[in-house]
Structure 1
Amino acid sequence: MSITESPHRTKIFIAAVAVLLAVAVGAVVVAYQGRPTARAGVKGTVVLDQSSSLDTGSGYLLYKTTVAGPDFGTLAERKVSGNPGTVTGVPTLSSVQCDRSYTAAGVLLCLRADDNLVRVASVEVYDKSLKPIKKVQAAGIPNRARLSADGRMAAWTTFVAGDAYNGPAFSTRTSMLDLKTGVLADSLESFAVMLQGRPYSNTDENVWGVTFASDDNTFYATLGTGGKTWLVRGNAAAHTLTTVIDNVECPSLSPDGTRVVFKKRVSSDAWKMWHLEVLDLATLKETPLAEQRSVDDQAAWLDDHTVMYAVPQKAGTGYDVWSTPADGAGAPVLLAPDAFSPSVTSG
């Protein structure tokens, strides 16, 4: 799925976002239409026009730009190079803007926040030909977005109270949508929980940070309850969550399905709170990664051997996307400056 300027391929994901004026009590699937015109891009980028298109090939890094100005939040693409942990070429800037995005198999999942005081998220799904698939209204502030590898299953998390995972008052809402059947699970908190082999229920349960396995039924996520966080294995059809191991947040499943990269709480200091680790699902062995900065993000996989994630810039309000080897060796590499919410396109 590469953004290109060829008129002979399918059109680029470009969509207008209507301002939502009512509170979304849960998520409601509705139809969506419309698209904005292209804008002038930031210096050093290629800007798409109305003849722009979208290729369904693999090997492109998709992210939202965090350059200050009118293009903040605009999706951009760069080609992933043959050199591990790097990309090539000048970024290609689209006209679609997201707070959080993810792409897989020619499908784009885009989360947008309403700007008014009534906090409502717009969850938009598009296919490779620009045809709108679904639009979902969800209460809260967009926070996490994921698709299954074949683009069938979509999940998203919003903050519905508080604004960070490092405070005691946060509350999340995580929903899951089967794009093939249209079945929507409004809140994963309704799923039955097995905690350490026993049925469990508590009013303080929060679920966030979904990542899908290849069967479109199994998924992993974070369960927060009783002052602890757990990696849970979910069954979408059975509506169940089963704990695997504690102190795991925002997991992301590797392309081969054998490992998850996650953020581990290692400190109460907000500037040193998280460390990235990789968990082997067969042995439950944890491998600390070379990245020493605190990373408050749901990391993604650049390939089977490399993870990528956003880090706040030291100066300014933007982010940069970095990569590091998944085996704990090596050192972090700057993958894309002024970038956030990375994912890699797949055919």
Structure 2
Amino acid sequence: MRKLLLGLLGTLVLVGGGITYVVAARGGGPAANAQPVVTGEPITLSPGTVLFRNAAAGPAYGQVAALAAPGAPRKVADLQCDRFAAARGTGICLRAKPGSLPPLSEVLVLRPDLQVRHRQTLPGTPSRARVSPDGKIVSWTLFVTGDSYAATGFSTRSGLYEVDTGRLVKSIEELPVFVDGRRYFAHDVNYWGITFGADGNRFYVTLGSKNKTYLIEADYRSYRGTAILENAECPSLSPDGRRVAFKQKNPDSTWRIAVLELASRRVSYPPESRHLDDQVLWRDNTTLLYALQRGDKGSDVWSTPISPTGRPALLIPDATSPAIA
């Protein structure tokens, strides 16, 4: 099949929004896109559009993409990201700056047409990205040392940017937090995985310290937070604000999806039980989207109902960072 596609290279005319199966390789990578892509067609953050980071091998690897329908060629934008998120016409793209020592990342705040409205360079490597439901606050987490949450001695920096005012909070590490009614102080405090509510004020974040993790419920205006659950990481607040999905560590140090009902503090488990290292996204109030590693060969975006009677389903192969504009 590869030879056939390569043979067609000389006869394909690549124009406008034509489907591109084979193009010139970049940086010595594969010359063929493992998934058919469409180039030249604009991608916008129009309401309801499902976007993602293309993880298919080939020249379009890492580009922001949109899928019109299951099985259809994916439209790709000329925007490379390591992490991507979007909501209400605002996008965020995190990408590592190649060759920088110590590692640096670009934080790109995007307009509805995916053009850059603000650019910030910060220390660290990309980890998590989110946009508040009202599109007014973008947030991110960068690794300052280490390359995974399983690493010993990792350090993170989580920050915020207010789209309308331009206010930049490079790190929320000074956020006052209370655990069991007392102000918490420790030298090893790390925050990661911010998620905002629809009001643009209430937010949730992970606090990691002394080999424990806590789900922090925080108020942005008063700038203080309270621990409401232990063993919870990378929270994601449902659109109706009633539940928080998160990843919970198992005894064998793998993670699985869990869902906290905020009113009752009851934790339940969706039917997806495989190891997951992602900050899940709510597609609606009953369905979650997330990326799952496929061995050492790649990653796919899956969906699962939160009801234990449902079944997970493959949504987008060769993809990460699902987002709903």
* Pairwise TM-score range, normalised by the shorter structure: 0.7 to 0.9
| Corresponding residue number in structure 1 for 2:299 | 319
Whether the aligned pair in 2 keeps the contact of 1:64 and 1:342 (CA below 8 Å) is: yes
- The SS at the match of 1:190 is coil
After superposition, the Cα gap between the structure-2 partners of 1:159 and 1:43, relative to the gap in structure 1 and judged at 3 Å, is: closer
For 2:76, what is the secondary structure of its paired residue? Answer: strand
CA deviation vs aligned residue, 1:280-310 (integer Å, no higher than 9, x gap): 1111111111112110111111222110111
Aligned length: 296
Amino acid at match of 2:318: D
The Cα offsets for residues 180-219 of structure 1, whole Å up to 9 and x where unpaired, read as: 1111122111111111211111111000000000111111
1:60 to 43, 49, 54: 49
Q: Is the 8 A contact 1:324 1:331 kept in 2?
A: yes
* Structure 2 residue 267 is matched with structure 1 residue 292: no
Consecutive unaligned residues of structure 2, counting only runs of 5 or more, are 1-15, 18-30
- Which residue of 2 is the match for residue 241 of structure 1? 225
Which residue of structure 1 lines up, in the alignment, with residue 76 of structure 2?
93
State the secondary structure of the residue aligned to 1:275.
Answer: strand
Deviations 1:148-193 (A, max 9, x none): 1121011000000111112331110000111111111221111111
- Cα 1:41–1:190 shift into 2, 3 Å: farther
Aligned partners of 1:292, 1:43: CA distance in 2, in Å? 28
Deviates more, 1:224-233 or 1:306-315: 306-315
Partner Cα separation in structure 1 for residue 34 and residue 279 of structure 2: 29
The structure, 1 or 2, with the larger RCO (C-alpha pairs under 8 Å, 6+ apart) is: 1
1:71-220 to 2 correspondences below 5 Å: 71-79=60-68, 87=70, 89-118=72-101, 119-220=103-204
Give the CA deviation at 1:267.
Answer: 2.3
Q: Which residue of 1 aligns with 2:209?
A: 225
Which of 221, 230, 251 is matched with 1:267 structurally?
Answer: 251
TM, length-normalised to structure 2: 0.86
CA drift at 1:122: 0.2
Which of the pair has more CA radius of gyration?
A: 2
Could you say which residue in structure 2 is the equivalent of 1:28? Answer: none
Answer whether contact 1:267 1:274 (CA < 8 A) is retained.
no
| Post-superposition offset of 1:109 | 0.5
Counterpart residue type for residue 284 of structure 1: R
Q: Identify unmatched segments of 5+ residues in structure 1.
A: 7-39, 81-86
Give the Cα–Cα distance (whole angstroms) in 1 for the partners of residues 63 and 46 of structure 2.
21
Report the counterpart of residue 319 of structure 2 in structure 1: 339
d(CA) in 2 for partners of 1:116 and 1:266?
A: 36
The answer on whether the counterparts of 1:103 and 1:109 sit within 8 Å (CA) in structure 2 is yes
Conserved 8 A contact 1:76-1:94: yes
Q: Which amino acid aligns with 1:145?
A: A
With normalisation by structure 1, the TM-score equals: 0.81
